[in-house]
Structure formats: C-alpha cells, structure tokens
Amino acid sequence: MNSGSVASEIRLLAAEWTIRANGGYLAQACGSAEIFATLYCDVLDLSPSTAPLIPPKFESVPNNFRNEIRGESWLGEGPDLFVLSPAHYGTTQYCALVAIGRLDKKALTSESGDGGLLELIAAEHSPGIVVSSGSLATALGVSVGRAIARKIKNIPGNIWVFLSDGELQEGVTWESLQLASSQSLKNINIIVDVNGMQVDGQMAQLMPIEPIVDKFEAFGWNAIEIDGNNLEAIRIACLEAKNSNLPTAIICRTKPWLGFSFLKNRWDNNKLHFIRLTDDERQDLISEIKSL
Amino acid sequence: MNEIIVKPFASALVKHGMAHENVVVVTNDLTASCEADEFASTFPDRFISAGMAEQGLVLALSGLAREGLIPIFPSFAVFTTRRPYEQIALTIAYPNLPVRLFGFLPGLTTPGGVSHQATDDIGLMKQLPNMTVIEAADATDMETVIDGVFDMPGPVYIRSLRGMVPRLFKEPFEVGKSREIFAGDRVLVLVTGSLTAMAIETVESLRAEFNDLGLICINTLKPFGDQALFAAIAKAKVVITLENHLVESGLASATAMRLAKFPGPTLVAIGIQDTFTHGGSFEYLLKYYAIDANRLKKEIFYAYGKSLAPKDDDLNFLAKRSELNANVAEGL
C-alpha cells in the first residue's frame, strides 16, 4: 500500500460522506489523512482483521448476556494496537479502514444510519475503535493501563494512541501522561494531531495550550515536532519513537483545511469543527471531487 | 401544530444578564452549541471561555459564587454533570452555592451515542443534597426558568432543550409547580421534558375514548411534587410515568418513593431500563428503547384493561427534535 494514495482516498471518502449525510467531521479527516495513511502503511504491525468487511447490525451494548461486537477486531490481534482517542474522528477511521481494505466501501453508506455500527461519534463497537471516547481524553489513560499490563505480561508490540490537541485541555490527559512516564513505559507512543481548532473556533484565541513540546518533555516524555501533513516526516518520527527509551509523543502540526478549497474559508470564520454544507459549498465540493 | 421557537434560551440569557449584573456565564467550548453565544457577545466581560476542562471549570464556578457572583454553566448534560461530578458534589452542592448548571442534549435526543447521551444526569443531580433539579419541557420553560430560579440560594440543575423548541405552555415556569394538561382521575400520565409534546398529542388522541385519562407535566424533579400533583396521584388507579432517562433514578423513581409513603395506584414506568444506549436518530432510538408514542398508547390501553393493542405508528408523531439547527457548530 502506498501512503500517498491512502491519504488521498481518506479525504475523498470523507468528502463523499459529508455530501451524502449533509454533514460530517470532514476537517478532522483532511488534517489527519497523512497520519492515518502513514500509520497503516508504514508503521503499525497489525495482523489481519478478524471482523467482516461489512459490519453486522448493532446488537447490544456491553452486558452479561450478549457478546457485543468489538471494534478492535478490525485491527486484528497485534502485535501493535492503534487506539483512536477523539471519537469525532470516527469517520476518518472508517474511511482509512476502507482505504486499506479492512472495511467494504459500501459499509460507509449502508452502516452509517440507524442501527448501523458506523456511528457519527464512534463507540467501541464501531469498526477500528478500541475505547468509547466521545467524552474526550478518555482513551489515553486506558491505553496507558493496557501498556502497563503488556509490560507486566511481557507482551511484545507497541500501542500507538492518536490524540487531538483539544484533548490537551483536559486535566486527565496530564494525569495519564505522568502515569506513563512514572512507569517508564517504552511500549506506548502518542501521535498528537495539532490542528489548532475546537468547536468554538481557533484554540489559540480560546484556550491556548502551547508550548506543547515543552509540556510533554516536562512530563517525562520524548517529544518530536513535525509537519503532520508530510508523509516522510511522519514515517521517520514514528521510527524514532519506536527506538526511543522513553514514551514518545509526535507533535504533528496539521492543516485541517487541506484538500478542499472551501475549508480554508471556514477555518478563517471559526466554522470548521463540523461541516454542514451550504449550497455553494456543496457545489464547489462536488466539482472538486470530480476533478480529482 | 405547536409554535416553534428558535434558540429560546439564547435571548433569555441575554435578558437575564441585563437584569442582573452579578450573573456570569462560563463555557467549555460549547458556547454557540448551548446558546450562550449571544450572552458572550453582549457581555464579553462577564463571559469566560474555560476550555474543555470541566473539573477545573466547576471548581472555578465555586470560586465565582463564593465571591458573590451567580455563575451559569451551560454544556451538554453529560459534561455538565458526570464529568466533573466530584467537584460539583464537594464544591458546589455541599457549600450550597447559587450556581446554575444547564444540561443540553437530554437522554436520546442526540445521535452522539453513549458518550453524548445523558441518561443518568437527573439521577446524579437528584441524589446530591442541596441540589434542585428541573427539566424543561418547552420553549416557555427555556425562556423563563433562568428568571424562575434566580432567588434560590442553592445550586440548581436544569435539563434543557436547544435549537428549535416547541411552545407548549403560556404560563411562565415556576419552581415546584406541576402543569396539569388534562384532568383525569383514573389513569394518570406523568411526563417530563423532551417527551411532553408527544405525550400531549397521544393523550389528547385517546381522551374521546377514555375521558378520565389525565396528563401532568413535571418540571421539578427535586423537590418532587406539589399538592395538586399529590392529590391527582392519590385519586388515580394507575400512574404511568414517561421519561427520556433511566427509570431507576428519574421520574419513575421519584414517583415510586412517593407511592411507597402513600400507597395507592399501580406504577407503570416508561423510560430507559437499566442499559447504556447507542447512537441513532431520536425517532429510531425512542422506538428501539420502547419509549415512543406507540408504547405510551399501549400502556394506556392496558391500564384501562383493553388487551387490543393499537397498531404501530398510527399517531402523527410530534416529539419534535429539540435541536439540530443551522447555527450550531457540531452535528449533535
């Protein structure tokens, strides 16, 4: 698989989703397409999916009586584990799974409505989702626990956690970071998508979180800062993370408006978090997709 | 057809701010989403954007209140109540401070799935000593509740509706005062919040057949009940509660506590039954979890001893979605 074509496919599928559903988390996909593509093509060591290409219908939330579907099954059985923390990137994960052949493209349409598992805010029965973390900054701490367990049980493989910069505003993120470094974990790394936006607008104007690199280092983490839309830079940073003796955070500076021209205007107007297309935007997006 | 009011809370909050200089609004990145945007632009000096950091935000509410201000925190109900629960319990409820907590996206009104559906918020707040718990049912409630609780010395949690909200009531909200919609003393339906419009339509459609079928809307879950409500419950043979919440800790449980002290009618609890929930449209979820108009109609039939269940979907379903308008910055 070629990471460049996977990144393009993620953007295209996410755009088609947004047109079809008349709304979607498109900017999240556009900013992080290169991260997902590089992880799946060049970094993660995953065994084949144990789940079907078309997911079954929703059956149950976890309880004592039924075997609920586990979204983790689409990621196989290791040795690596990829944990998506911000569940608002569910669409990105579904599109990435399609692009790498772990999910049928038809599922994006047939399984994203009522009773389907491809929920707008992903839950842990959704394909590729390990922890229900629509309440942000939930998955990192769970991943730290799993990394500690794997260290105790001497299980090989790395846990890669995808974190969004907005989650750095939550205090529990920092509690999880201090636990990981206090345990000297080498089997967990974080990719932070620093797209600079939150629901209300641009983070720098609302609740600045810089200097991110210094903060990670102060919490005992190795931090690498890169251009998060550069495939080669992501690949090299992940390699460095794998070889590091410290838990490593890769701080990816990304542009959430990359790929479709109307998105930049929305960034400027603080309307990028969720895209409910206007008629003009819809026309522009359809014609741009056609010209791809 | 009910009149629909767009963003009733937004303008009410601005008016409230004009009338009371000591009111401040604090948000966690859901400013327009929870209709605080007009307040923020009208009173920038009394608006605090605290980021997605709810535990620290709630501690700050306590500090603001201790300095004599009246802080208002509007968020999605899961983030208002569950995420900073310890801080609410110990730094707001325990010292009995006048903080106003608003929780939007009640129950199954959001497609956002388990992380965004507040199905236990009423219970969490109800069990805190000193906390008053309210659930708004219509646009009038959302316009008047903030004034209605202004004089209360302690904390108040208000389960809220946003976006396009139907107007069901003319009289302004009054703490503790139940709203009798249809008088009837044999089978009594009690409803809260976002299901009220649906309950009105359903009960109205059956009143020709069952002229002693009553309906009361409960807007104050704690303290529970006024004399009019208790009198109606005492007369009824069957009480049916209808709520967009877990029955274990919401309206049904409050009613059950009353009936345990003053036994009488049979209680039939319609609501979410001891399960976490999943994402989907409001209409789909109400049907999936059997808290829709058809279920209510069936239970009313059973209460009258009629075994013939009505066929599905024969009501003009009126539980209007209380959100999803072009102004919000998310898709929930």
Which neighbouring-strand residues pair with B157? Answer: B101, B133
Within 10 angstroms of residue A221's Cβ, the number of other Cβ atoms is 23
CA–CA gap between residue B10 and residue B113 (Å, rounded): 26
Cβ contact (<8 Å) for B331 and A24? yes
What amino acid occupies position B135?
E
B residues 46-65 lying closer than 8 A (beta carbon) to A? 49-56
Structure tokens at B267: 């209680």
What is the distance in angstroms between the Cα of B168 and the nearest Cα belonging to chain A? 29
Which of A123, A199, A276 is closest, CB to CB, to B326?
A276
Instruction: Please give the pLDDT value at position A65.
Output: 76
Structure tokens at B236: 């009824």
**Residue B326 covered by a domain:** no
Q: Is the dihedral of CA A33, A36, A40, A44 positive or negative?
A: positive
Mark whether B210 and B189 lie in a shared domain: yes
Q: The domain that contains B245 carries what CATH number?
A: 3.40.50.920
What is the C-alpha to C-alpha distance for residues A116 and A108, in angstroms, rounded to an integer? 10
Position B316 in a domain: no
A79 upstream amide cis, omega within 30 of 0? yes
Q: Specify the pLDDT at position B89.
A: 97
Residue B269's Cβ-side half-sphere holds a number of Cα atoms within 13 Å equal to: 18
pLDDT score, position B257? 97
Task: Tally the domains of chain B.
Answer: 2
Give the gap in angstroms from C-alpha B270 to the nearest C-alpha of chain A.
Answer: 20
pLDDT in tens, A102-158: 999 999 999 999 999 999 999 999 999 999 999 999 999 999 999 999 999 999 999
CA A285 to mean position of chain CA atoms: 23
HSE (side-chain half, CA atoms, 13 Å) at B246: 15
Taking CB atoms and an 8 Å cutoff, what residues of chain A touch B280? 113-115, 119
CATH code, domain carrying A19: 3.40.50.970
CA distance B288 to chain A (A): 9
pLDDT of residue B330: 80
Substitution target in B26, B110, B278 with the highest count of A β-carbons within 10 Å is B278
Q: Do residue B150 and residue B221 come from a single domain?
A: no
CB atoms within 10 A of CB A280: 9
Clarify whether residues B197 and B127 are in a common domain. Answer: no
What is the pLDDT at residue B1?
A: 78
- In Å, the largest CA–CA distance within chain B is 61
* Separation between Cα atoms, residue B39 and residue B42, nearest integer Å: 5
Nearest CA to A246 out of A197, A186, A190, A191 is that of: A186
**Range(s) of the domain holding residue B132:** 3-167
Residue that is last in its domain, among B167, B201, B228? B167
CA angle at A289 for the pair A285 and A290, rounded to the nearest 5°:
120
A230 is in which domain, residue-wise? 3-290
Q: Which among A87, A135, A273 is the nearest to B329, CB-wise?
A: A273
- Taking the alpha carbons at both ends of chain A, their separation in whole angstroms is 20
Q: How far off is chain B from A27, nearest CA to CA, in Å? A: 12
CA-based nearest residue to B199, from B248, B158, B166, B247:
B166
Report the side by side order of strands in the sheet with B187-191.
B179-182, B213-217, B187-191, B238-246, B266-272
Residues of A in contact with B116 (CB under 8 A): 121, 134-135
> Which chain B residues are closer than 8 Å to A20 by Cβ?
none
In angstroms, the CA A186 to CA A27 distance is 32
Residues B147 and B12 grouped into a single domain: yes
Q: Could you give the dihedral angle defined by the CA atoms of residues B219, B223, B228 and B234, in that order, rounded to the nearest 10 degrees?
A: 110
Give domain status of residue B327, yes or no: no
Angle between the N-to-C axes of helices A3-21 and A90-99, in degrees from 0 to 180, rounded to the nearest 10: 130
pTM of the model: 0.90
Per-residue pLDDT, B313: 52
Chain B (252-291) residues lying within 8 Å, Cβ to Cβ, of chain A: 275-281, 284, 288
CB contact under 8 A, B30 and A62: no
Is B318 part of a structural domain of the chain?
Answer: no
CATH number of residue B118's parent domain: 3.40.50.970
Q: Summarize pLDDT for B313-324 with one digit per residue, the tens.
A: 544 443 444 334
**Are residues A119 and B326, on separate chains, in Cβ contact within 8 Å?**
no
Whether B279 sits inside 8 A of A199 (CB atoms) is no
Give yes or no for B33 touching A (CB within 8 A).
Answer: yes
The closest CB to that of B29, out of A63, A135, A199, belongs to A199
CA distance A266 to A145: 38
Chain A closest-CA separation from residue B265 CA (Å): 33
More confident residue, A33 or B315: A33
For B29, which of A132, A206, A274 is closest by C-beta distance?
A206
Q: Report how far residue B254's alpha carbon sits from residue B243's, in angstroms, rounded to the nearest whole number.
A: 12
In the numeric block, which tokens belong to residue A88?
Answer: 């608002």
pLDDT at residue number B321: 41
To the nearest whole Å, the CA of A152 is away from the closest chain B CA by: 30
> Do B42 and B130 lie in a common domain?
yes
Q: Are residues B17 and B100 in the same domain?
A: yes
pLDDT of residue A25: 96
In angstroms, the CA A55 to CA A110 distance is 10
In this structure, the answer to whether residues B13 and B162 fall within a common structural domain is yes
Residue A49's SS3 state is: coil
Residues of chain B with pLDDT under 50: 314-325
Helix (H, G, I), strand (E, B) or coil at A119: coil
For residue A114, the chain B residue with the least C-alpha distance is: B280
Q: Are A108 and A91 in contact (CB under 8 A)?
A: no
| Chain A residues close to B288, C-beta within 8 Å | 115
Residue pair B145/B220 in contact (Cβ under 8 Å)? The answer is: no
Q: What share of chain A is helix, strand, coil (3-state, %, to 5)?
A: 45, 15, 40
Distance CA B239, CA B248 (A): 16
- Residues 6+ positions from A244 with CB-CB distance below 8 Å: A186, A222
**Three-state SS sequence of chain B:** CCEEEECHHHHHHHHHHHHCCCEEEEECCCCCCCCCHHHHHHCHHHEEECCCCHHHHHHHHHHHHHCCCEEEEEEEHHHHHHCCHHHHHHHHHCCCCCCEEEEECEHHHCCCCCCCCECCHHHHHHCCCCCEEEECCCHHHHHHHHHHCCCCCCCEEEECCCCEEEECCCCCCCCCCCEEEECCCCEEEEECHHHHHHHHHHHHHHCCCCCCEEEEECCEEECCCCHHHHHHHHHCCEEEEEEEEECCCCHHHHHHHHHHHCCCCEEEEEEECCCCCCCCCHHHHHHHCCCCHHHHHHHHHHHCCCCCCCCCCCCCCCCCCCCCCCCCCCCC
Using one digit for the tens of pLDDT, what is the confidence trace for A221-261? 999 999 999 999 999 999 999 999 999 999 999 999 999 99
Same domain, yes or no, for B121 and B188?
Answer: no
Same domain, B35 and B156: yes
- Are B237 and B146 members of one domain? no
**Are residue B11 and residue B151 in the same domain, yes or no?**
yes
How many domains are contained in chain A?
A: 1
A163 — pLDDT class (breaks 50, 70, 90): very high
Q: What is the largest CA-CA distance in chain A?
A: 56
Residues of A whose CB is below 8 A from B50: 207
Indicate the residue among B106, B139, B167 that finishes a domain.
Answer: B167
Tens digits of per-residue pLDDT, B141-196?
Answer: 999 999 999 999 999 999 999 999 999 999 999 999 999 999 998 999 999 999 99
Q: Can you say whether residue B124 is alpha, beta or left, with left for phi > 0 and alpha for psi between -120 and 50 degrees?
A: alpha
Q: Is B325 on the interface with A (CB under 8 A)?
A: no
In a domain, B226, yes or no: yes
> ipTM value of the model?
0.85
Peptide bond into B106 cis (omega under 30): no
- Within-domain flag for B251: yes
As a whole number of angstroms, the distance between CA B62 and CA B43 comes to: 21
Average pLDDT (A189-216) is 96
What burial letters (b/e) apply to B169-194, b meaning 16+ CB within 10 Å?
Answer: beeebebbebbebbebebbbbbbbbb
| A135 to B56: CB separation less than 8 angstroms, yes or no | no
Size of interface A-B (CB pairs under 8 A): 106
Pick the last residue of a domain from B114, B137, B167.
B167
Chain A residues close to B56, C-beta within 8 Å: 171
Within 8 A by CB and 6+ apart from B43, the residues are B14, B17, B25
Q: Does some domain include residue B57?
A: yes
Do B161 and B185 sit in the same domain of this protein? no
Length of chain B equals: 332
CA-based nearest distance A159→chain B, Å: 23
Q: Tell me the pLDDT of chain A averaged across its residues.
A: 96
